[in-house]
Amino acid sequence: MNKIKNTKIAVVGMGYVGLPLAVAFGKKIDTIGFDISVERIEELRAGKDKTKEMSKEKILEAKKLFFTNDILELEKSNFFIVAVPTPVDDFKIPDFNPLIKASASIARVLKKGDVVVYESTVYPGATEEICIPVLEKESGLVYNRDFFAGYSPERISPADKNEVCDIIKVTSGSTIEIGKYIDSVYKEIITAGTFLVDDMKVAEACKVVENTQRDINIAFMNEISIAMNRMGIEAKDVLAAMKTKWNALSFTPGLVGGHCIGVDPYYLIHKAYELGYSMEISRNARIVNDGIPKFIAEKSVLEMSRRKINPGKSKALIMGVSFKENCPDIRNARPFDIAKELKKYGVKVDFFDPIVDEKEVMRVEKVSLIKKPKASYYDVVILAVAHKKFADMGIKKIKALGKKGSGIFFDIKNVFDKKDSDLRL
C-alpha cells in the first residue's frame, strides 16, 4: 500500500467536478488532469476554464498539476479519480458509456497496488457491477488482490460559492484498509472534513438519495404552484406565509434540470425497478418536474389568447438557457423544453443568454442565440433563469422588450416584484 507521500494522482475528466478537484490536489500532490478533449486540455494549459468555475490564477496556483489528453501519461499515477458524466438516454435509462470508456482507458495503465476511485453519480452497486469488470478485463488484474477501488460522491454545485475543499467529503473503499487510505488522501485537501463509510454502496446511495429528496420537494412546490394558480392565489405569497413557521422547508417552484437533480433520480428509480420495486413518489416527482416547461408554455399561450394575441403569429423571447442562474452549464437545461412546447402552438422563439457559450449551445441544442433583443418586439418575454445580469438590467429594460401595451412578462423565478409581472410560477 502506498503512503500519502508516494501517492500520484490522476483525475480523469476535466469538467465541473474534475477540474476543481485536480486543482485542489495539484497544490499539494503530484496530479495529472486528463481529458479526451484536446481543445479542453489546451485551454486549461493556458489557464482558461470555459465553465467559469476556476479562475486563471487558481489554476496556475496548482504548481504540481499537469494537464494531458494522452492516457499513457498516466502510467506513473497510482491513485485514479474518475469524474466523467453519467447521463440518461432518451428513455431515461442510465447511460454508462462514459464510465465504461473511462474505465477501459484507465485499465491500459493500471498496475498492481493502484487504486481507482469513482466520483461519477451512479446507483448503489454500479461501481462493482459496471466499472470493476471493465478494469479487470482490460487490465488482466484481479480486483481486491492486484488493484483496489473506492467511491466518493461528488458534491460540486456549479456557480455556488462553496469550493470542493469546503464541502464534507463522503469516502469509501473496496476494503476497510483501502477505505482508510482513500479517506486520508482526500483529507489532504478537504478542510471541511471527511466522512468514511464502510460500504461503497452506502456512498453511492448517498448522492442519488440526496438529489432525489430535493427533486421530490421541488415537485411538491411545483404542484402547489399549479394548484394555487387554478385557485387564483399567488403561490409565492402562500410560501412566504408558510415559511414563518420554524420547521418549514425552503423549497420553491421552478424548472428542474442540470446534471444532478434532473438526472440522478432516474439512476435510483432504475435500480429499484430492476429489483422489483417501483418508487412511485420518486417517479411521480420526475413526472411533475418534467412537466413544468409544458405548464409554462400553456400558461403563456392562454394569456396570449386572453389578450387576443394569435399564438401562431406571435414571438417569444426566452431569457436564460442554462440550467441555473449565473452558470454557463446548459446540460439538461429546461428553457429549451419551454421553447419546444411554445413552438407546438406556432410561436416563434428567440433565445438570449449573455453568459453561456454560444458555440456550445449551437453544438448541443442546434440553437442560435441572439446578441441583443429588439425593443417592443416580443408578445411574451419569459425570464427563465435568474442570472444577475438580468436582474441588473432592471424591470423597465426587460419589459421594454415586449410589445408596447400588449407584451406579456412571465417572471418564472420571481426575480422582480409581483406588480411588475403578468405571469409567475
Which residues belong to the active site?
260
The x, y and z cell numbers of residue 136, run together, are 479487470
Residue 356 DSSP code: S
Burial class (CB in 10 A: 0-12, 13-18, 19+), 143: middle
The x, y and z cell numbers of residue 64, run together, are 504540481
Identify the residue whose cell numbers are 438590467. 393
Identify the residue whose cell numbers are 458509456. 97
- With beta carbons less than 8 A apart as the criterion, state whether 258 and 324 touch: yes
Q: Which residues contact residue 248 at a Cβ distance below 8 angstroms, ignoring those fewer than 6 apart?
A: 242
DSSP, residue by residue, 89-115: -TTS-B--HHHHHHHHHHHTT--TT-E
Phi, psi of 402 (to 5 degrees): -80, 155
Element (H, E) at 12: strand 9-12
Cα end-to-end distance, the chain, whole Å: 55
**Residue 397 to residue 67: CA distance in whole angstroms:** 44
